[in-house]
Structure formats: C-alpha cells, structure tokens
Amino acid sequence: MSDIKAEVIEAATRSKAAAATLRMLTRKQKDFALNAIADALVANESSILDANRIDVDDAIKRGTDAAIIDRLTLNSERLAAIASAARDVCALPDPVGDVIRGYTLPNGLEISQVRVPLGVVAMVYEARPNVTVDAAVLCLKSGNAALLRGSSSAHHTNVALADVMRQALASTDVPVDAIVLVPGTSHESVEVVMTARGLVDVIIPRGGAGLINSVVNGSTVPVIETGIGNCHVYVDAAADIEKAVAIAVNSKTHRVSVCNAAETLLVHKDIAAKFLPALLSEYKKLGVTVHANPALVGFCKSAGVSYEAVTDADWAAEYYSLDIAAGIVDSIDDAIHHIQKWSTGHTEAIVSQDVEATRRFVAAIDSAAVMVNASTRFTDGGEFGFGAEIGISTQKLHARGPMGLPELTSYKYIVTGDGQIR
C-alpha cells in the first residue's frame, strides 16, 4: 500500500468514527458547534486570507482563467459572508429524526420512517474554497462527517479553513474529525476516496464536466452527480418581449461562472423580428458573443453584436463566459427536441404567455428544474427557500435539483411492537 493510500484510508477511518458520534448529537449541540465555527472564521481572518493569497498568486502565475481566479479568491467581505452563512445554517430545521411517514398495521405494529444521516459524505471539488466551509457546516448540521478533497489550486486556503474549523470544534461536543481534509494533492488521493467502500457512504463532486465525469465513472462508492449546467432559455411565440429580454439577459450575464447560467438561447421564428433586436442590443452592450445558427446570423449583423457560426461543440458547451449558443427554431416542438438532445438535465426556461405552450414545455422537459417566465439563475438552494445547498443534483435517484439539509439524509424504519411474532 502506498503512503498516500494509507494516509487517505486513515483519514476516512477517522471520519467514519466521527460519523458514529455525530448521528447521536442533539440540534443544540450541533448549532453550538456551528456558531463556534463562524466565530473562528472571523477571528482568524488574517491567517486565512494570507493562505488564500498564496493560492491566488500561484494561479495568476500559471495564467489561470479569470473566472476561476474569481472563484478562488477570498477577501474580508467574502469570508464574512461565509461565516454568516454558517450562522444561517443554525436557524434551519434539523432534519435528523423527522418522521417522513408513520402508520399502524392491523396487527398493532407501529411503523415509522425516520430521517437519519448518510454517514461519511466525501466532497470532491475544484477551486471554490467556500465549499470547504459550506460542505462542512451542512454535513455537520445534518449529522454527517465531511471528508473534503478540494483542488490543489486551493490547497493552502483549504488547509487554513479546515484547521480553523477543527480547532473550533475542539471546545464543543462535536468530534474534530467531523471535518477531515483528505491528505495529498495528487489524483491518487481522489482515487482512494472514490473506492473507499465501507468507509465513505457517498461522494458529491462539484466542478466542471471533467471532474464530475471522472468521479462518476471511477467510483465504487455511490455518487450524487451535480452541477454540469448546459441551461437553455426558450422564447416562445407568445412571449412578453420585455420579460423575455430581461430573462435572457439575466440568465446569461448575471454571473457567468456558475452552473445555473444560461448557455443556449432558442427563439421561436414568429417572435424573432420583434425580440432579437432588443435583446442583441443589450448583449452588445454587455460584451456577449453569440454563437448563432444560420437563421440568426442576419440579426447579429444588424445589431452589430459579436458573433460566430454555431457548431455542435457550442450547443454542448458550458461556457463559463460571456458566450451563448443561439438559434431560431420553427416551433416549440423543435425547441423541445433541441433541449432533449443537448441538455445536461440542470435547468431550462420557457418565456411565454400561452398556458398551453408552457404546459407542453414543462411536461416534455426532463430536467431538475424548469422555469416558467423566470431566470435560470433561480435554481439555487437559497433562492428556493432551503436556506443553503450543498450542490445541485442533475441525477434522478435520492436527490434532484438544489440539495438542502433533507437531501443529506437517508431514512430508516423503526418498528415498535408489543410482543408480536410472525
């Protein structure tokens, strides 16, 4: 056994032991620990930001994309927001112990289906140090141990954050190994986590398509697939022009580096002449490049917006930039068929005042979230009223869409009798 494999197995073993204690703690004990973590993050701002500066400087030297550097960077305001989010989790209901359903059989046996923690939740994620804290506090609140493997590009920051949180736990009833950073920065350490059946109960990857596909295809541990967001906005023939422009602009440009940003725009041919000049004028001001199908190229030329001819790679792309694939379609069915072909199952939106059109679209589109006359940017745990999320699941088993605290639990059946035998 290699040294790094032994170290990762040892870390996962400590997480497993901590999970056994966590599942028995009360809400009061867990909330006290969450407040201690929030206090510690604020108190140790200087050392955390110093560590983050090392990672950011290294990323700049490597010529890392600006959007990734933005996700990597912490400052006083962002760290304060992370600490505030940890406090917010305290106010959320504790899902552990909730009775999902209960009933009594004719023989007098009482059946209760009760929420319980998953156990050890491993997070594998890219250059997002906020996930180190978000995952740790959400797992803690839901009674799970967090086994964290961030990217090497954020290593110094993640070590600093994990050390601060673990030190905070030392003065609480929560075991310090409720939060464990996976040792090592090589891919080997990730591979060990992905195959640690019996120690790791579930893996949640957060990042780009390459990371997620690698974890999904390489794991023997169950995976909750998250995040790849080739999101579509379809502007129907019966759309309100003003609403459609606002939604298409917000969905694409509000924040380009997130999974719920729109990457494809489809426009019904009957509204194109009214809608596109207004939209493309806004896209031009904001610096959006349109990857246009042939029917849309003329509108791009007239508007003076930057454009290129669309390719299959564009239809499939998750850009993380001010680029959007766009096309004029002949019908709502053409839009639906296009989305069914290219969607990653994250979020799709329709803009229409036609009730029958929206009904048809919602019924036909099999994505985790479908927006009707609203921006794709609303697919978010906070926006859904969950208070927080650990990721957005694009799969269909156990959890789908924004994952809040209940999605970090499983359940067990408690059967209470009075001497019944079968």
Secondary structure, 3-state, 125-171 = ECCCHHHHHHHHHHHHHCCCEEEEECCHHHHHHHHHHHHHHHHHHCC
Check whether 228 has a pLDDT greater than 90: no
Check whether 240 has a pLDDT greater than 80: yes
Say which residue, 128 or 15, is predicted with more confidence: 15
As a whole number, the mean pLDDT across the chain is 96
Spatial contact of 291 and 313, defined as CB atoms under 8 Å apart: no
The HSE-up count of residue 124 (CA atoms within 13 Å, CB side) is: 32
Please give the backbone phi and psi of residue 306, each rounded to the nearest 5 degrees, phi first: -65, 135
Amino acid identity of residue 211, one-letter, is L
Residues in the chain: 422
Spatial contact of 241 and 281, defined as CB atoms under 8 Å apart: no
- 366-418 pLDDT tens trace: 999 999 999 999 999 889 988 878 999 998 888 999 999 999 999 999 999 99
Which residues lie closer than 8 Å to 164 by C-beta, 6 or more apart?
37, 40, 41, 44, 47, 48
pLDDT on residue 60: 97
- Angle 170-173-178 from CA coordinates, rounded to 5°: 70
pLDDT on residue 71: 87
The one-character DSSP state at 381 is T
| Closest to 195 measured CA to CA, from 229, 218, 228 | 218
**Can you tell me the mean pLDDT for 53-81?**
94
Which pLDDT band, with edges at 50, 70 and 90, does 88 fall under? very high
316 exposure class (CB count in 10 Å sphere: 0-12, 13-18, 19+): middle
| Closest to 198 measured CA to CA, from 181, 180, 183, 220 | 220
Q: What is the pTM of this model?
A: 0.89
Considering only CA atoms, give the Rg of the chain: 24
SS3 415: strand
pLDDT on residue 386: 87
Spatial contact of 150 and 132, defined as CB atoms under 8 Å apart: yes
**Can you tell me the mean pLDDT for 106-131?**
96
Give whole-number Cα distances, 26 to 30, 94, 142, 159, 220, in Å: 6, 9, 10, 28, 32
| Closest to 342 measured CA to CA, from 374, 376, 320, 365 | 365
Please give the backbone phi and psi of residue 322, each rounded to the nearest 5 degrees, phi first: -80, 55
- 278-316 pLDDT tens trace: 999 999 999 999 999 999 999 999 999 999 999 999 999
